[in-house]
Structure 1
């Protein structure tokens, strides 16, 4: 809404212009300057905030799956999480990473082009240390990786392509292939220096080491699927009706699944010395009052309070009440 001046304010303004205290041309120039906005063509923003959020969502899922994969492979504590998602010129990404690092170049068929996953040396050396039986401690190296170290890292990164494929499956079916392994970023020229790339930065903790993992995704790679990065596309996919046939099949399979059920008559604690001295006709006192109900466990989880009895000449239990999590009314 435009500001409306009072008659008194108009008179004061006209008086100031007439007396020379205020220049009308300068006022006009200031108004024009306000409309000018600086635009850096080297940092062209080709993705909207909505599309960047979609890319972030995909790679948050990728980070979770990569955490699970590396934990199972390395048998140690691993945590990976997305820290930021930015769009920058390709040359800026190259300048931002170490001159000696670990770079994996993946083709993403059927999409045209490649993406780069840069592994900080701290993380890469922790991976190597753990693969070779260490605690996951990082080391500071100034020389290049040996051929054996390259082969070991290549093997783990090739196995990890499945997590990348699964994470992107919500957007497009791709077949990632590790095409190249490089240590010097200056030897990689995927796109023109001024071309826009999306950089997904993830923090990684492996064993006793921590560092960054950066994914560099060129705009040209994402261009064919940009319409799928909109919130409207994601909402359409999340509102699909469930497959009733698959649901019924899953329910049927679950109903026939066998579980381990145990009625705990009682428990007690004794020392090793007492255990070694046990003999025939000795009596072990349980921490269970004769009038209290027993606990029924299902797959080691307490589920019901029961009372013992007999059914058709077989020992049985009768369910009295369900055990609520965090509540024990019979203590």
Structure 2
């Protein structure tokens, strides 16, 4: 207890330090201090993962591989496919000195993706297309492509994006559209430095030649389809999981579908006088369409026929409420 200073002693000590009467410890020499930058930890990193993205990326790479075979008329193999979760700054820090940056949209998803084609890949493909071995080296003083090279860029970008759209339609109906191609990163409004992105990098091998390209997506682009990619929904994992289970249960409920041949109105007296052999005219013609009802609600129109020895109705039009 004797080691605890009283308030008067504390005040006297502080006064002595401020007046220089009390000697304090000297600071650590500047040369001995090391600056340590703590790594940036962002919230929600575990929830950012999209487990099924690897499978989608592999399918896209396989489709692109088939397109390259058709384009080059020679064997092509998929070397590797990698999916990375990184910031926009990290994505752009890996850009080669000269490359093609093709911005594209994926309607109805909001936002834009980025296709990155290395200049070496473009020059090599041009050499192959013009009968060379794909080993031609091009020295370039400016960070721009020639008009002929841009034609190859456009062709290659459209091919990859068509394959991307084809694979994505199996998961979610999208329309991929090339917006424009640039070679200067400052001209591409893709993602801010701190924004989270998903980068898919694929390598294709043509003999000893290796072609590498990257497709980058802002992570928020996939918010509407996060559950389809195996990720946690923005509204919470448990809620999204239960919503999907309820949806699956609803989809298995049996619904009775009825084909309405026609309608007729009679009086009570006429109904009582009906007997076997009477003809009851209906309000439909033999060549007219019939109504299909789902649980009593009119949903479709079709015409009567037969299929595999049984009566059947071919749907010709959906009825919107």
**TM-score range with shorter-chain normalisation?**
0.5 to 0.7
Answer yes or no: is 1:122 the counterpart of 2:120. Answer: yes
- Kept after mapping to 1: 8 A contact 2:58/2:81: no
Query: How does 1:1-331 map onto structure 2 within 5 Å?
Result: 40-41=40-41, 45=45, 47-49=47-49, 51=50, 53-142=51-140, 143=142, 144-206=144-206, 208-230=208-230
Q: Partners in 1 of 2:168 and 2:93 — Cα distance?
A: 27
Q: Partners in 2 of 1:196 and 1:71 — Cα distance?
A: 34
**C-alpha RMSD over aligned residues:** 2.9
Deviation, 1:41, is 4.2
Q: Partners in 1 of 2:229 and 2:73 — Cα distance?
A: 35
Deviation, 1:141, is 3.1
**Structure 1 stretch displaced more, 115-124 or 56-65:** 115-124
| TM-aligned CA distance change 1:152 to 1:83, over 3 Å | closer
| TM-aligned CA distance change 1:146 to 1:39, over 3 Å | closer
Q: Partners in 1 of 2:119 and 2:47 — Cα distance?
A: 30
Secondary structure of the equivalent of 1:202?
Answer: strand
Secondary structure of the equivalent of 1:103?
Answer: strand
Task: Provide TM-score, normalisation by structure 2.
Answer: 0.55
Q: Partners in 1 of 2:223 and 2:106 — Cα distance?
A: 13
Task: Provide TM-score, normalisation by structure 1.
Answer: 0.54
CA offsets, 1:287-306, max 9 Å, x none?
xxxxxxxxxxxxxxxxxxxx
Residue number in structure 1 paired with 2:18? none
| TM-aligned CA distance change 1:212 to 1:157, over 3 Å | same
Deviation, 1:129, is 1.5
Aligned residue pairs total 199
**Structure 1 stretch displaced more, 153-162 or 122-131:** 153-162
Secondary structure of the equivalent of 1:160?
Answer: helix
Q: Partners in 2 of 1:201 and 1:61 — Cα distance?
A: 13
Structure 1: tracts of 5 or more residues without a match: 1-37, 242-331
Which runs of 4 or more aligned residues in structure 1 lie more than 6 Å from their structure 2 counterparts after TM superposition?
Answer: none
Q: Partners in 1 of 2:160 and 2:48 — Cα distance?
A: 30
- Kept after mapping to 2: 8 A contact 1:122/1:209: no
| TM-aligned CA distance change 1:196 to 1:43, over 3 Å | farther
Q: Partners in 1 of 2:60 and 2:129 — Cα distance?
A: 22
| TM-aligned CA distance change 1:201 to 1:44, over 3 Å | farther
Secondary structure of the equivalent of 1:177?
Answer: strand
- Kept after mapping to 1: 8 A contact 2:88/2:192: yes
- Kept after mapping to 1: 8 A contact 2:60/2:163: yes
Deviation, 1:174, is 1.0
Secondary structure of the equivalent of 1:118?
Answer: strand
Q: Partners in 2 of 1:158 and 1:190 — Cα distance?
A: 18
Deviation, 1:69, is 0.7
Deviation, 1:97, is 1.4
| TM-aligned CA distance change 1:126 to 1:208, over 3 Å | farther
| TM-aligned CA distance change 1:179 to 1:102, over 3 Å | same
- Kept after mapping to 1: 8 A contact 2:100/2:182: yes
| TM-aligned CA distance change 1:141 to 1:178, over 3 Å | farther
Q: Partners in 2 of 1:160 and 1:197 — Cα distance?
A: 19
